[in-house]
């Protein structure tokens, strides 16, 4: 495929390319694959082109692929659980969403993914509410609690069923099973999966549509050290390819390893947001900053 000339280097990892049939984005990608029985993740490098015929430049792309939460408020059982929550997650960056249990992280993500409604405010993915996205799996992949699979379904059957709901080919099921290291468990029923395997199946589901946006709630929960390392590499690689990655976590050390930007929420309010270094500030670690910002007792047993 001929590429005639390079136009501009974007603000994210990637280059806008002038092509006869329209604009595209070229990336040197490293595909991280966790293979069953291996001692660690393996990598395969390749140059890929993401077609973007509607992209007019890097700033348009940044706007189109952002997550935007604007003044979202939510009341449940007469208790306000979210207070004017406002933040953005940008392409080419991993944005960490950090807060104590019950701070409002999952409630915010549920509103973003159309699973709940706010009393006020907007939550947009690529400029649109989740419910108005065409074939949403091709725009955003999400991982919340569990894998979403029926206990009696095999991993492959579950993925094929979800793929069909978005007009995706059956072949995507085996492709994403390989990516997350579950090829050898394709015929195993979801009810027999360990917690870590369920998380990987949930991630495989999120990846079916090769989405530009990833929204992940506690993605390393239940993973062993090899799985955590694989997830860290995968998320960094996804951002390097220009994807928008938003993940919530309470594991501050792990988040500090991969996040470019951090949002801290406490008692339903965003208390600080910005680049990792800015949020950490004068504190020695992100964990120290977190306890200072949220007034959480560091030595509390639970």
Structural domains in the chain, sorted by start: 1-59 (no CATH), 60-294 (3.40.50.300)
What Å distances lie between residue 216 and 2, 56, 247, CA to CA? Answer: 37, 29, 5
Give the per-residue pLDDT at 251: 82
pTM for the model? 0.77
Q: How confident is the model at residue 63 (pLDDT cuts 50, 70, 90)?
A: low
Q: In what order do the strands lie in the sheet with 140-143?
A: 140-143, 213-217, 244-249, 94-98, 261-266, 269-275
**Is the pLDDT assigned to residue 4 strictly greater than 60?**
no
Give the per-residue pLDDT at 127: 93
Residue holding tokens 């701070």?
Answer: 103
Give the per-residue pLDDT at 47: 38
> pLDDT of 174-207, one tens digit each?
999 999 999 999 999 999 999 889 999 999 999 9
Give the per-residue pLDDT at 64: 61
Residue holding tokens 């108005």?
Answer: 132
**Is the pLDDT assigned to residue 299 strictly greater than 70?**
no
């Amino acid at each position: 495929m001929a590429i005639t000339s390079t136009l501009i280097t974007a603000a994210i990892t990637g280059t806008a390319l002038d092509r006869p049939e329209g604009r595209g984005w070229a990336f040197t990608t490293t595909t991280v694959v966790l293979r069953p029985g291996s001692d660690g993740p393996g990598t395969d490098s390749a140059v890929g082109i993401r077609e973007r015929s509607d992209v007019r430049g890097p700033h348009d792309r940044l706007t189109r692929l952002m997550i935007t939460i604007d003044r979202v408020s939510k009341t449940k059982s007469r208790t306000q659980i979210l207070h004017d929550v406002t933040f953005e997650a940008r392409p080419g960056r991993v944005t960490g969403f950090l807060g104590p249990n019950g701070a409002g992280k999952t409630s915010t993500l549920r509103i973003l993914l159309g699973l709940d409604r706010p009393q006020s405010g907007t939550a947009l993915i690529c400029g649109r509410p989740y419910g108005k996205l065409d074939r949403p799996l091709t725009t955003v992949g999400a991982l919340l609690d569990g894998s979403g699979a029926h206990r009696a379904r095999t991993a492959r059957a579950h993925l094929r069923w979800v793929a069909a709901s978005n007009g995706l080919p059956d072949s995507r099921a085996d492709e994403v099973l390989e990516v997350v290291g579950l090829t050898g468990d394709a015929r195993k029923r979801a009810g027999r999966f360990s917690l870590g395997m369920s998380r990987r199946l949930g991630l495989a589901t999120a990846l079916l549509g090769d989405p530009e946006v990833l929204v992940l709630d506690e993605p390393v929960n239940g993973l062993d050290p090899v799985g955590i390392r694989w997830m860290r590499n995968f998320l960094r690689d996804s951002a390097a390819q220009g994807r928008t990655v938003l993940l919530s976590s309470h594991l501050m050390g792990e988040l500090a390893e991969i996040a470019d930007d951090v949002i801290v929420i406490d008692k339903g309010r965003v208390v600080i947001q910005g680049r990792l270094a800015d949020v950490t500030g004068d504190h020695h670690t992100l964990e120290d900053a977190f306890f200072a910002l949220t007034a959480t007792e560091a030595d509390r047993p639970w």
